[in-house]
Structures are given as C-alpha cells and as structure tokens.
Chain A
Amino acid sequence: MSGDASRARVLGRVRRALADVPAYERPSDHPVPRDYLRVHGRRTPAESAALLAAHLADYRATVHRTGADGLPALLREVLARRGARRVAVPAGLPDGWLAGADVEVVADSPGLTVRELDAVDSVVTGCALAVAETGTVVLDGGPGQGRRRITLVPDHHVCVVRAADQIVDSVPQALERLDPTRPLTWISGPSATSDIELDRVEGVHGPRVLDVVLVAGDVGIPGEPARG
C-alpha cells in the first residue's frame, strides 16, 4: 500500500472509531482541569538553590557553590580531582573559566568525531536552566552548551548553573521558559539504571560523574531569551 493510502486508511479508521463524539464538539470543549499547582511551595531564591542542590545530591550528583570570582579555581580543582587531562569545551564558554587549568582543551565543532570525543576525560558546560523540585539541569544547545553528544560521550560532566537567574522551582515553570524548537536534554543526576532488581544503580552509558556548580553573580554567559 502506498504511503498516502495508509494515511487515509488510518485517519479514516480514527474518524469511524469516534462516531460517538458529537460532530459539533471541538477539542477544547472536552474539559481539562488545570487546578494542579504551578509550584510546590513558596521559596526565596536562596531556598530554591538549596532545594536544587539537595535534590541533585539525592541522585548522586556532586554540588558545588561559588561566587563568580571563585569559578575558575573551583573548576580547576574539580577537574584535577578527577584527573582530567583532555576537556571538551563548547563554543561560547567564557575563556576565563578554564584559566590556569592544566588540561588540553578540546573545542567542540561539527568536525570533532565521536571517537575523538570518546578520548576526552571531561566536559564543562553551562545550561539553559535548572529545576529545583526535581533536581534537574536542562541544556538546549545554546551558547556554552554545545552539541548534545559532548555532554554524553565523556564520562564526566561539569555543569555550571547561574544561581541568580537560571533556577526555576518547578517543571511547569521550566517548560514555560524552554524553546521546543531547540534540542533539549534534561539531566537529573548521573546516568543510572533500575534494571537490576528495580533498584537504582548510578553509571551506565552517559557520564557516570556529574558535578554541578551553582555560581552566584555574573559569569559571562549570555542569557537565553525567555519564551511564552
């Protein structure tokens, strides 16, 4: 059967199956109650940051706090502790972040192959936003975040979150600010599995070590345009 015929067939079956739905009913006529909460509790920005840190730590991410001035030193220390020699860096990551770090910087570009990426120890990125209630960072491929693969193939991901304006409380608030036309990756802790006896174990295919740095003040990454 040709593609068009299959399309007509499936849509025809759908329409016949819905004979009980009155012809005058529009989708919006079927009620959807949206009386669920936009956010679970009222928090100051400091409380939201603390909740984010606690929930990230629950799922075995390591959380660090610093001011903007202390960021390069903290990143040096995090990379050194891991013994990272080669570090992938996306376009748009401020030059100063890795200042003084004794590592070989591997710049992300379309020409960087997966095998080259597989030989990288760590990757340092920013993010689009973070969600406190779920302990999640979201990357959207914007400046300082790079292609999706660079935060996937290396075994160690260091993600920097601007505490002042990148932390939202809830999933509804996050979706409101994200742009669906961008490729989005929601990350809640390091790679894990529940496939052995339904118990969570950290570390399968994605980075097995996730460091999240919550940084106060201006750290030089251009902000993402708010949506909606």
Chain B
Amino acid sequence: MTGRPVPLGMPSFPRAAAVSTRDARLRANLKHATGTIRARRAAAVAELDDWRQLRAAAAAVKERTLRHLDHYLVRLEERVTAAGGTVHWAADAAEANRIVTELVRATGEREVVKVKSMVTQEIGLNEALAAAGVRAYETDLAELIVQLGDDLPSHLLVPAIHRNRDEIREIFRERMADWGRPAPEGLTDRPADLAEAARLHLREKFLRAKVAVSGANFMVAETGTMVVVESEGNGRMCLTLPETLISVVGIEKVVPTWRDLEIYLQVLPRSSTAERMNPYTSMWTGTTDGDGPRAFHLVLLDNGRTDTLADTVGRQALRCIRCSACLNVCPVYERAGGHAYGSPYSGPIGAILAPQLRGLAGPLEESLPFASSLCGACYEVCPVAIDIPEVLVHLRERVAEGGEATVRGTRAVVRPARRHALERRVVAGAAWALDRPELLRRGRRLAGRAARFAPRRLPGPGRAWTDGRDLPEIPEESFRDWWARTRAQESSQESSHEFSHEFSHEFSHEFSHEFSHEFSHEFSHEFSHESSKGGDR
C-alpha cells in the first residue's frame, strides 16, 4: 500500500503516549472536550426509544453492503455517471493523488478549497497538490487551525481538539496573515470571535474558488446521491460555489438505497456532535443545470480497504461512519491524545482501522492494537456496533503470532513481530520521509520529545514485542482504580454499563490471550499514571 507511511521518527504508540500523557495542558483540553460531549451524546441518544433498533439496522445495512460491495459500487458508478458525474477508481493513495492533481491541472487553477475529509488526510492529498504547485485551503474551522498551526489532526471530528481557545487565538494571530486575510485586531479568545475571524479569513477564498475537493459521508448506490454532513457551512460553500467539484471517497462509504439514509441521518448527528441534526446536510446527484458545479468527479478509493474487507473479523471496521463517539468515551484516548496514534484515524477506531488499511507494516501499526485496555466502552457507544475489542484482540494475535493476511490485494503470511524486522521498517520509513521535508520536520518535532525516554524491556513472552520499545512506568494508581474513580463521577446509566462491560471483556480475554492481556494490562497502568514523576527505571 502506498498510503502515507509513518514519517521518520514517528514513535510507536507507547512512545508517543508516554510523552503525551505527561502533557498536562493536552490532557486538560481533552478531558474538558470529551467530558462535555459524552454527557450530551448520552442525552441525545436517550431521546430516541428505538436507538437499539436503529443501531442494529445501521450495522446490518453496512454489513449487507460490505458483503456485496462489488454489486453496489458498480450500481453507484452507473447512477453517478447517468446523473452527469464522472467516476474514477484509485487502487491506492498515489493513484488517487495523481487523479485529483490531473483534474485540478486540467482546470488551469492553482488553488482549491477543501471540505474536511479524513480520506484526503489519509492519502496526503494536500502534500501531493503542493508538490504539483497547487495550494489547498482547508476550510473546516478545526482543519484550518491544524493547517495554520502546521500541526497534525488529533480527532476524527474535531481535528484541533487538542487546542484550547487561547492556543487557537495565538495560532490565528500569528499565522493567518501568511495564508490570506490576517486575524482582526484585538482578537479575543471567545469562541464566537474566533469563529468570526475564520469567517472573514475564508470568505474571500470561497468567493474566488473555482475548484473544490471534498469527501462524503454516504454515497447512495440506488440513486447516485452523495451526502455531506457538516455544521459550519464551509461544506456548502465548497460543494456549491466552485465550477468543479472533486469528491474523494473510500469505497466503504456506499449504502444501498435512498431509504437507508433514514437510519444514518438519525444515528450520526446524535453520536458525533450530540445534536438531533447537524446544522447542514448537502445531498447532490451528479450535476444540476444552473445550480452548483458544472463538473463533478467522484474518485473511489481502495487504499487498503479491500485488504481489510478480506479479513472476516476485521471487516467490520469498514462499517465506521466516522462519528468519533468511540474517541470521546475512550480512557486511553483521553489520556494519550490523538497524535499518539500516528494516523488521521485515532482513538479506538483508529487502533483497528489504521493497522488494517496500512497493513501491520511497522512498529507503529504493530503497536496500535495494544493501545487499548479492552474496556469495551467504544463498542457500547458505536452506532454501527463495531466490536472494537474483538478486532483489537484479533490484531494482537496477528502481531504476536503472525498468520495469513491480504496485503495490496494478495494473500501473504505475516510473520510475528521481531526486533530486526521492526528496525528494517524504520529504515524504510526514513527513506520515505527524507523525500518529504515537511513531514520529516513534523515527525522530528514529535519524536524529539520522545527521545529522552530510554528503552526498557518486558520479561518472558513480551520480549518479542517490547524489544526496541519503551515500557511504561509502574503506576501509582491502577487503571481500574482510575477508571472507577473518574467514571464514578459520571452518574449516567450508560457509565455503569461501560464499567461492567470492561470486566466481562477483561475476563473473557484474560486466559485465551495471555500475551495480549499482558500488554493491555501494562498499557492500562501507563494511562493510569497520574503524576509524571521523572526518572527512568
């Protein structure tokens, strides 16, 4: 797979997390944001008496789609084409980037406006466009904060969740002028003022844009309809003002029928932003005379999705509708932050999606399935019922014991992780990153903070995995105590479900996956470590 590999020095999850869990400001930002949304999500979900049935239907429709994905993709292609769109197929990131770059070049334009899109992060589209002399402007507020701050996204829904209002103000003050209209004089850190600053900064770009790039939340095979769900109106600006619209969408985003949207338009907003409905949802089918873009291109992206599809246990990760509810309830995410996952897909879903999309290609991917305590809270809140703990355990076995997997469409045998293999992959990653100065710089910045922690080793069966990695410090408070203490303050019924689920998961996995469990246990301890007391063991 030629997706965005791990930059040089991008640390494996435990290394990165060992640093981020000591970052008090990051943890405070995350705790505040995820705590706010958790309670509101529970209330929004509780409003619907049939949530359980909606969730079952949401999972079943996705499962049906995945089991017959070829059928639905061909149908989708027919319908989009019939409605005046053009469909392109991309087996990997390089192909998708080439297609988009050529489409932009054909318009003669040197800049594009972008709607927030996970998939274009995944393939590194902005960097590819920049290399071709095309400037891509992110227009989602959080993506703008990330882009201006020369930063990396850390949350599926709110990529700048690790930034608080004060930091955002500083980024706007210092960087907006480099990208266009400067921040207003005397900008405060009131969220409304920050939003106003973004409005003024981006308006000029919207009004002159001729080309837009988007993703999509859903594609309807039956009708060829594309759906983008958003809040700010930047999506609508990009989808309706430019002359050319290019949507890059993972092949798993297709749903069979128009009617199926009735399920997802109910579960997605409540799960992601805890709203009955998000402020704006745009639906378009091909092109419309006199309204919106005259040219519509749909780029259907594989980039590891078919490899994931081939794994009958891991396949369920492709149901994901990117709501981010699993991030917001995850104790590991709350402690470690999104950057520790080393991929645009962070949190519990990232821990199973990234290693499958990229393959267990290196230390980062191999460490991600261990970035969990298997508490099961992610599964409880998932609106498409992805059993994330089940997939995590499955992937841990793959890392530890090896086995068959599909890599770039071909069956292959994955060997158990060993130190020399890991080192080889780090070298390969370095060669890749040396061609990408921007990533190299960012990777170094992250790695530099991790470098001061000396490697330690686990005894016994854990050695194969911990060789060449950091071992977390022994905590002062066990994970379970921390979980009980912090979650006890959330008095919702859901919390108690999560809690009991944790125990059932731990016990069910404890004996059959001794090896895996050992790591989950160690990780759990790491994230329970409240105070950062210096000194390596």
- Whether the Cβ atoms of A196 and B165 lie closer than 8 Å is yes
- Whether the Cβ atoms of B70 and A204 lie closer than 8 Å is no
At the interface, yes or no: B125 with Cβ under 8 Å from chain A? no
For chain B, residues 179 to 237, give those with C-beta under 8 angstroms from any C-beta of chain A.
Answer: 191-192, 194-196, 198-199, 202-203, 206-207, 220, 223, 225, 231-234, 236-237
At the interface, yes or no: A96 with Cβ under 8 Å from chain B? no
At the interface, yes or no: B241 with Cβ under 8 Å from chain A? yes
* Also in contact, A190 and B279, with CB within 8 A (given A6-B91, A196-B165): yes
Among B50, B140, B161, B233, the most chain A Cβ lie within 10 Å of the Cβ of: B233
* Also in contact, A195 and B279, with CB within 8 A (given A17-B406, A114-B207, A183-B291): no
Among A25, A141, A148, the most chain B Cβ lie within 10 Å of the Cβ of: A148
- Whether the Cβ atoms of A195 and B192 lie closer than 8 Å is no
* Alpha-carbon gap, A11 to B64, bound state (A): 17
- Whether the Cβ atoms of B158 and A204 lie closer than 8 Å is no
Binds A, one of B260-268, B358-366, B415-423, B452-460: B260-268
For chain A, residues 1 to 50, give those with C-beta under 8 angstroms from any C-beta of chain B.
Answer: 1, 3, 6-7, 9-21, 25-27, 30-37, 40
- Whether the Cβ atoms of A203 and B307 lie closer than 8 Å is no
**Interface residues of chain A: helix, strand, loop or mixed (majority):** loop
A205 to chain B, nearest CB (A): 4
Chain A residues with CB under 8 Å of B72's CB are 27
- Spell out B's residues near A (CB within 8 Å): 29, 32-34, 36-37, 47-50, 53-54, 56-57, 60-61, 63-64, 67-74, 83, 88-91, 95, 139-142, 145, 157-158, 160-161, 164-165, 168, 191-192, 194-196, 198-199, 202-203, 206-207, 220, 223, 225, 231-234, 236-237, 239-241, 251, 256, 258-259, 261-263, 265-266, 269, 273, 275-285, 288, 290-292, 300, 302, 306-307, 309-310, 312, 328, 406, 409
Closest 4 CB pairs of A and B: A206-B233, A205-B233, A17-B310, A13-B306
B41 to chain A, nearest CB (A): 10
- Whether the Cβ atoms of A180 and B285 lie closer than 8 Å is yes
Among A3, A16, A37, A201, the most chain B Cβ lie within 10 Å of the Cβ of: A201
- Whether the Cβ atoms of A55 and B276 lie closer than 8 Å is yes
Size bracket, chain A contacts:
35 or more
- Whether the Cβ atoms of B70 and A193 lie closer than 8 Å is no
* Alpha-carbon gap, A188 to B269, bound state (A): 11
Chain A residues with CB under 8 Å of B48's CB are 37, 40
At the interface, yes or no: A184 with Cβ under 8 Å from chain B? yes
At the interface, yes or no: A191 with Cβ under 8 Å from chain B? yes
Mark contacts of A184-219 with chain B using CB atoms, 8 A cut-off: 1 yes-contact digit, 0 otherwise.
Answer: 111111111111111111111111000000000000
For chain A, residues 155 to 179, give those with C-beta under 8 angstroms from any C-beta of chain B.
Answer: 171-172, 175-176
Point out the residue from A31, A133, A194 that lies within 8 Å of B273, measured CB to CB. Answer: A194
Point out the residue from B60, B69, B192 that lies within 8 Å of A14, measured CB to CB. Answer: B69
- Whether the Cβ atoms of A14 and B277 lie closer than 8 Å is no
- Whether the Cβ atoms of B310 and A204 lie closer than 8 Å is no
Point out the residue from B69, B288, B310 that lies within 8 Å of A141, measured CB to CB. Answer: B288
**Interface residues of chain B: helix, strand, loop or mixed (majority):** helix
* Alpha-carbon gap, A60 to B32, bound state (A): 24
A50 to chain B, nearest CB (A): 15
B315 to chain A, nearest CB (A): 8
Point out the residue from B57, B63, B69, B406 that lies within 8 Å of A36, measured CB to CB. Answer: B57
- Nearest-neighbor residue (CB-CB) of B312 within chain A: A20
- Nearest-neighbor residue (CB-CB) of A148 within chain B: B240
* Alpha-carbon gap, A35 to B50, bound state (A): 8
* Alpha-carbon gap, A12 to B145, bound state (A): 40
Chain B residues with CB under 8 Å of A171's CB are 262, 265-266, 277
Chain B residues with CB under 8 Å of A188's CB are 275-280
Point out the residue from B36, B141, B233, B276 that lies within 8 Å of A133, measured CB to CB. Answer: B276
At the interface, yes or no: A125 with Cβ under 8 Å from chain B? no
- Whether the Cβ atoms of B164 and A18 lie closer than 8 Å is no
- Nearest-neighbor residue (CB-CB) of B261 within chain A: A175
At the interface, yes or no: A81 with Cβ under 8 Å from chain B? no
- Whether the Cβ atoms of B409 and A9 lie closer than 8 Å is yes
